[in-house]
Structure 1
Amino acid sequence: MFTIKVDMKKVQNSLSDLSDHAIKDASAFALNKLAKQSVFALQAEMKDVFDNPTPFTLNAFYSKPAKPNNLAATIQAKDYAPKGTPAGEYLKPQIFGGDRPLKKFEKALAPLSGGQYAVPGPGARINGYGNMSQGQIIQILSRLQVMRDPSQNVAVKTLNRLRKQKKVARGAQTDYFVGRDKGNGRPTGIYQLMGKGRVVPVLFFIPRAPSYHVRLKMQDVVEDVVARKAPGVMAEAIGKAVAKAFK
């Protein structure tokens, strides 16, 4: 979260002949316009620093408006996602640096992976944004019977079909299975049986979190917008307030 701040004394001095309510209205207008412009600037910055970001990522930030009785506009990242990880969570390492948190599907796989992180392998289906296909992730969780809703786990009909196709891995119920290190038994990843003698790694498990350097300098972007745009926005707010007062 980032709070927009400007020197509102300049606005108040310019509106000295107006009512206190008019001053607060103008101040809220200026703050909200700066906040919206900052969100647009963050979207432009993400297009520059990220490789083909998804629409969900580009819409990660929103502005919480200031009001005449609460002169503070804030820019926040969404902390809810119907599927997957909220943008506010997975963007933190990009904004502040450091380790990324476990994704939702990694948490779901924790009973099988030992709580490790997962990175795509050669058998992962990658979408147009460079991310692993959500459909394949759901398929893996379903086949390994770790869906949050048990009713969404693999159906008996599917299991029977896989058996007929001889795509059931040894020691497993489906074509997906957990591979383990021969030495210490540590889970090494998720593999898929493609056919007789053909196995491909879909996910590799890694014990340590992937670490990131700061890429999205959110504070710098917002401060730049305020520095460049605040004078013009405040002048517009003053003009609107004066015009309204003389109607």
Structure 2
Amino acid sequence: MFKLDARTDIAELSKALRTLGQKQLPFALALMATRLAVLVRKGELSVLRERLDRPTSTTMNSLYTKAAKKGSPEARTFFKDSWTSGVPADTYLQQVVKGGRRPHKRFEKALIAKGVMAPGQYAIPAPSSLNQFGNVPRGLIMKILSGLGAAETVSGVQANATGSKRSKRKGNADKYFAGDVDGAQGIWERRKTAFGDAVRPVFIFSESEPGYRVIVPFYKIADNIVQANRAKEFASAMDQALATAKR
């Protein structure tokens, strides 16, 4: 989250008071902060679109601006921090913005809790598991967890594969398994091919903690936009405050 406080230095404040008077000053400061926050959002989206690999519409629509008010001259530009379901953008974009090591995802925590994966391991998706956006579809995640008996750890409901006819028709328990294949530990999918039965990797377990470099220096971008546009937006806000002042 980037907070933009419209409170200004003594020189600017003195000028604004002389020009606008005490009554219109809060309006002008709030207007300046809001306009700058909108510019920050626009600039951040441009960089996200350029630097992220096939960002989803959900990701691109997750950046919001909260307008400043006369009584609270602070505007904000922030990623949405809650969804009705799934991981919010404020959480999964932290590595993109800040870099550093990646913590275990809920999927991995479920595997660890079930004993499928060791606490020090990480599940790295095979290329065949990724969709057009470079993500593992949630439906595939749930099928795997169901087949491995770890679904209730994540979903909070009984979604594991059972011996029922309905569950057997889905085939998740037969299709997915965890183990070592040719020296590689991971989660595998059983497949039938023209040449007979085969397996292919869905996730490979890694002992190395995944790390991320900073892809979008969110705060630096925001600071640069504010510095480049503050004087212009301050003057524009003062003009509008004067034009709308009651005579």
With normalisation by structure 2, the TM-score equals 0.83
Aligned counterpart, 2:190: 193
Structure 1: distance between partners of 2:83 and 2:46: 22
Structure 2: distance between partners of 1:203 and 1:81: 26
Q: Secondary structure of 1:197's match?
A: strand
Structure 2: distance between partners of 1:7 and 1:224: 18
Aligned in 2, Cα 1:219/1:235: closer, same or farther, shift over 3 Å?
same
Q: Secondary structure of 1:16's match?
A: helix
Aligned in 2, Cα 1:152/1:242: closer, same or farther, shift over 3 Å?
same
Indicate yes or no: 2:2 matched with 1:2. yes
What is the CA-CA distance between 1:58 and the residue it aligns to? 1.7
Q: How does 1:175-214 map to 2 (within 5 A)?
A: 175-180=175-180, 188-195=185-192, 197-214=197-214
Q: Secondary structure of 1:82's match?
A: coil
What is the CA-CA distance between 1:107 and the residue it aligns to? 2.1
The number of residue pairs the alignment matches comes to: 235
Aligned in 2, Cα 1:83/1:179: closer, same or farther, shift over 3 Å?
farther
Q: Secondary structure of 2:221's match?
A: helix
Structure 1: distance between partners of 2:2 and 2:245: 32
Structure 2: distance between partners of 1:43 and 1:230: 19
- Per-residue CA distance 1:160-199 (angstroms, 9 max, x = gap): 336xxxx78xxxx42111114899xxx9211111135311
Indicate yes or no: 2:215 matched with 1:215. yes
Q: Identity percentage over the alignment?
A: 30
Q: Is the 8 A contact 1:84 1:105 kept in 2?
A: no
What is the CA-CA distance between 1:56 and the residue it aligns to? 2.1
Aligned counterpart, 2:20: 18
Q: How does 1:27-42 map to 2 (within 5 A)?
A: 27-42=29-44
Q: Is the 8 A contact 1:89 1:101 kept in 2?
A: no
Name which of 109, 119, 124 aligns with 2:124.
Answer: 119
Structure 2: distance between partners of 1:101 and 1:12: 49
Q: Is the 8 A contact 1:119 1:205 kept in 2?
A: yes
For residue 169 of structure 2, what is the amino acid of its counterpart?
R
What is the CA-CA distance between 1:209 and the residue it aligns to? 2.3
Structure 2: tracts of 5 or more residues without a match: none
Structure 1: tracts of 5 or more residues without a match: none
Structure 2: distance between partners of 1:134 and 1:108: 14
Aligned counterpart, 1:134: 138
Aligned in 2, Cα 1:199/1:123: closer, same or farther, shift over 3 Å?
farther
Superposed CA RMSD: 2.6
Aligned in 2, Cα 1:80/1:207: closer, same or farther, shift over 3 Å?
farther
Aligned counterpart, 2:75: 73
Name which of 144, 149, 171 aligns with 1:145.
Answer: 149
For residue 28 of structure 2, what is the amino acid of its counterpart?
A
* Greater alpha carbon shift after TM alignment, 188-197 vs 233-242: 188-197
Aligned in 2, Cα 1:77/1:70: closer, same or farther, shift over 3 Å?
same
Structure 2: distance between partners of 1:16 and 1:75: 31
Q: Secondary structure of 1:178's match?
A: strand
For residue 70 of structure 1, what is the amino acid of its counterpart?
S
What is the CA-CA distance between 1:75 and the residue it aligns to? 2.4
What is the CA-CA distance between 1:78 and the residue it aligns to? 2.3
Structure 2: distance between partners of 1:194 and 1:182: 17
Aligned in 2, Cα 1:12/1:52: closer, same or farther, shift over 3 Å?
farther
Structure 2: distance between partners of 1:31 and 1:175: 55
Structure 2: distance between partners of 1:61 and 1:82: 16
What is the CA-CA distance between 1:18 and the residue it aligns to? 3.4
